[in-house]
Amino acid sequence: QPAWALAIHGGAGTITKESMTPELEQQYQEKLDEALQAGSEILKNGGTSLDAVCAAINVMEDSPLFNAGKGAVFTAEGINEMDASIMNGENLMAGAVAGVKRIKNPILAARAVMEKSPHVMLMGDGAEKFAQDQGIELVDSSYFFTENRWNSYLKAREKASKENFG
């Protein structure tokens, strides 16, 4: 039985070898490995599972490869709206944020809701105000923009427009 363990995911979907270039595949592998190393470094040194979860997710939130944080997809209105949650298995405490647009790392805000408020979920402007009060970094919404996601948004908008007009 291992003394500690960590598993991560970066999303599921229509991910095939045909849709991936070797370079992009390499980027994903390296970033996932970086996330594993960030979390495992904490666990190996006796840190908590909560710290490890946040460290691993922060790596993926900061990467434009994944649909969270920088690299989040766009809504129909062309903005980024992010959600996150966290739960502690020791005491069943939980925290979440929904519909936030300026929190750089939403998982840290979810943790702050869990640990520093009597609530489980905060949403929108209130969640952002709370995060700011807790010293969590807020960024301009342009931080989340990536060309790749914007192009996906434009394609989806075009498809929706064609569907609307038959």
Q: Within positions 133 to 152, which residues make up the interface with other proteins, using CB under 8 A?
A: 144, 149, 152
Given 27, 67, 132, 134, the residue binding other proteins (CB under 8 A): 67
Closest distance of CB 166 from other proteins, Å: 19
The two tokens of residue 80 are 């980024």
Residue 25 binding other proteins, by CB under 8 A? yes
For other proteins, the closer of residues 83 and 139 by Cβ is 83
CA distance 81 to 92: 27
For other proteins, the closer of residues 86 and 131 by Cβ is 86
Site for other proteins in 79-108 (CB under 8 A): 79-90, 92, 94, 96-99, 105-107
Given 27, 28, 139, 145, the residue binding other proteins (CB under 8 A): 28
CA distance 130 to 136: 9
Given 125, 141, 143, 156, the residue binding other proteins (CB under 8 A): 156
Q: Is-contact 57 83, C-beta < 8 A?
A: no
Cα separation of the two ends of the chain: 58
For other proteins, the closer of residues 132 and 152 by Cβ is 152
For other proteins, the closer of residues 90 and 166 by Cβ is 90
Q: Using CB atoms within 10 A of its CB, is residue 47 exposed (0-12), middle (13-18) or buried (19+)?
A: middle
Question: Amino acid identity, residue 66?
Answer: F
φ, ψ of residue 24 in degrees (nearest 5): -65, -40
